[in-house]
Amino acid sequence: MSKFQTATDFFHACETLKGWEGCKEFVAEGALFTAQCEPLTELTTVQEYCEWMAAAGNGPLKGCSYKLHSSSYDEQEQTALFFATFSATHVGEGGPVEPTQKQTNTDYVYALTMNEAGKVEKMCKIWNASWALKELGWG
């Protein structure tokens, strides 16, 4: 399987809320996670991010979906990029406030760096979280 195919499979597993169990086969041990947005700044591993996504999508945010707009792979940098829009409504229990019944449609990018073995070794999520949280009525 190509590195780009592995990155693509990881992206879809994560975005369909499979959690760590559904994503770990695509990820190197100890893979790092970074993001310059709350509520993700304290997450440091891809495993933590996968679990965070699954908890959010299977908890307060119901009816989660995503639309992939574009993806690419840079062979020299061994990096895959995925640009998408995430949609969800806050109808479930959990989250910082009672269910607001509000929806978000928020754009984001995954930058996935692959290792020589063809697994995700680093992930950076580029996301305007404050926009999404305001749309949900959380901020």
Which of helix, strand or coil describes residue 92?
A: coil
pLDDT confidence of residue 84: 98
Contact 26, 8 (CB under 8 A): no
What is the β-pairing status of strands 27-35 and 120-127?
Answer: parallel
Residues 25-39: tens digit of each pLDDT:
999 999 999 999 999
Residue (of 25, 12, 28, 87) closest to 56 by Cα position: 87
Backbone dihedral region for residue 101 (phi beyond 0: left; psi -120 to 50: alpha; all else: beta): left
- 50: how many CB neighbours lie within 10 A of its CB? 27
pTM for the full model? 0.95
In the chain, the domains with their CATH numbers are 3-135 (3.10.450.50)
